[in-house]
Amino acid sequence: MMTLHTLIEKFLSSYKGVYAPATVKWYENRLKPLEQTLGEKDVDDITIDDLRALYVSLAEKEQTYTEHPHAGRKPSDKGYSKYSLHAFVRAWKRLFKWAVEEGHLRISPAAHLQKPRLPQPNPKVVSREGVVKLQEAALKFSTRPERDYAIIRFLASTNARVGGVARLQLTDLDVAHRIARVREKGRGGSGKVRPVFFDEETATALKNWLDVRPKRDDNLVFGLGTAGIYQMLKRIAQKAGLTEPYNPHAFRHGFAKGVLEQGANLAQVSQMMGHSTPTVTVEYYGQFATHELQAFYDRYCWLKDTPPSTATDRED
């Protein structure tokens, strides 16, 4: 006999040291409602009806956020959002699938549990004009202008996730060749490593920062954690009077949309973004507005260089 509580402990332990701590924490948080409701139950006795009942209770929960309301939602809003419910079900399905793979269960009770359909992703991006305003405000108002300007340029130029920027070390940086290695989410204690590239202006900004950077024992390039980067951007955005998105991921979204507008294809963007498959890229960035499709059509129309017909005679 094994309780669900024990199974969850084993599952999380198996992920520690294999996946990034943030990934382990993500599963831990999404499994909490399951553990709180069914934790003392034998895993062999858990059925899909138990999971569906829990799902309904979360969807109809009267007060979702009592201590830390999410942006745009009030504590009295009914039920979790579809995104939260989707994440719960995804975590439950992964837990029980792992249990089958490890031999703790013969059949997963979550195998046929349906995830809610999510709306089409609509990534919130920072514009090129917004980046310029942030750069100008960093140089004018920041107490560490070289550092903050370099971070803004690096985020905009590389599409690196905020964790990769925070963990960037001097040994990861090759300014002369405009390339860096960032450690982001994924397998391994510090996540997966991938190359990112940056332009000449960003290289200059990095050189200027490194010239005045205080010596540090930890070898970190910027010396700011993820929360510090968020707070820095918030302060700079307020000084710039920016009303559009400015969080670190808005730079990543802006990069993807921007290079697609410049003519890069989805396969190239997928690899530059470090996505596991091009499907992820298509899901987030492969949907275009009508005016964007019209612009792409005009740019790539295969008949645009075809000379018009000069024939004027026709048979009667």
Query: Is the model more confident about 216 or about 210?
Result: 210
Helix (H) / strand (E) containing 25: helix 21-38
Q: Are residues 159 and 48 in the same domain?
A: no
Q: Is residue 309 part of a domain?
A: no
Q: Is residue 74 part of a domain?
A: yes
Q: Are residues 141 and 176 in the same domain?
A: yes
Average model confidence (pLDDT) across the chain: 87
Residue 44 structure tokens:
């062999």
Q: Are residues 86 and 132 in the same domain?
A: no
Say how far apart CA 308 and CA 280 lie, in whole Å. 41
- Predicted pLDDT of residue 77: 52
Q: Are residues 168 and 82 in the same domain?
A: no
CATH number at residue 52: 1.10.150
Q: Which DSSP symbol is given to 188?
A: S
Query: To the nearest 10°, the Cα dihedral for 153, 154, 160, 161?
Result: -70
Length of the chain: 316
- Is the pLDDT score of 35 beyond 60? yes
Domains held by the chain: number: 2
Residue 298 structure tokens:
């005009």
- Is the pLDDT score of 169 beyond 60? yes
Share of the chain above pLDDT 90, in %: 60
Q: Is residue 151 part of a domain?
A: yes
Q: Are residues 86 and 134 in the same domain?
A: no
Q: Are residues 294 and 173 in the same domain?
A: yes
Q: Are residues 45 and 137 in the same domain?
A: no
Token pair 């948080």 is found at 29
Segment 188-197 mean pLDDT: 72
Give 82-112 as a DSSP string.
HHHHHHHHHHHHHHHHHHHHTTS-SS-TTTT
Bridge partners (DSSP) of residue 182 are 194
pTM of the complete model: 0.64
| Phi-psi domain of 61 (left: phi exceeds 0; alpha: psi -120 through 50; beta: other) | beta
Q: Is residue 123 part of a domain?
A: no
Range of the domain at 278: 128-299
Segment 137-151 mean pLDDT: 97
Digit-coded pLDDT (tens) for 289-306: 787 778 878 887 877 777
Digit-coded pLDDT (tens) for 217-248: 889 999 999 999 999 999 999 999 999 999 99
Query: Is the model more confident about 189 or about 145?
Result: 145
- Is the pLDDT score of 186 beyond 60? no
Query: Is the model more confident about 259 or about 191?
Result: 259
CATH number at residue 136: 1.10.443.10
Q: Is residue 313 part of a domain?
A: no
